[in-house]
Structure 1
Amino acid sequence: MTRPDISFSVQTLSQFLQQPKKSHMDIALRVVKYIKKQTGQGVLLSSSSGTEITAYCDADWAACPTTRRSVTGFVIKLGESMVSWKAKKQTTTSRSSAEAEYRSLASTVAELV
């Protein structure tokens, strides 16, 4: 996967594959139009050889209106190059934003290890 700019949109749309509606098709067409306009885009890897690992994570508490589950996301960089990223709905419902952030941090640390 080399297009982190569309991964969240595709992940969100994939939740409605069993019972899609017209609005989902409209959004899918919008994503396809965006991809057509953005040819040649992808992940750029830096030519400099940095060895410092940097990680960022965040959670959107109760982001999904139907399940009230939080969405977690993280980015891991090696030097100036992005080497890992993820956006995913959390498996359990968090009772607070602090709990959602903690789960996000835990998944980021697991990816780092």
Structure 2
Amino acid sequence: MADKRESNKGLSVKVDVDVSDALKGLKALKRETNGVIKGLDTLTRSLQETRLISLFTTAELHEELAKRAGVKGYVIDAHGGTAEIRIDNSYEGGAFVIEGPAKIIVNTD
């Protein structure tokens, strides 16, 4: 059996393709993408400048505040735990009994 091989030497192919419509589409897509990126940047800056406290649960806010200096947190147990809080100053006073479960934050700063 003879081994048959073909050679592509000297073979050249010239392709003429009109891609102008494709380039226009890509440029339009790039413009739209840049617009979306600009919008996201604006939204990001806005969110960084705005305090969106209402998006957090009370438990999340409590946990964050409890981590800060000048804040002391207390937890009242659910099973018979109580706390008596006395307030005595020039404009407000009284004693309050709070039954658990509860979390109390005292902010002293």
Quickly name the TM-score band, shorter chain normalised: under 0.3
Report the TM-score, using the length of structure 2 for normalisation: 0.21
User: Which gives a bigger RCO, structure 1 or 2 (Cα 8 Å, sep 6+)?
Assistant: 1
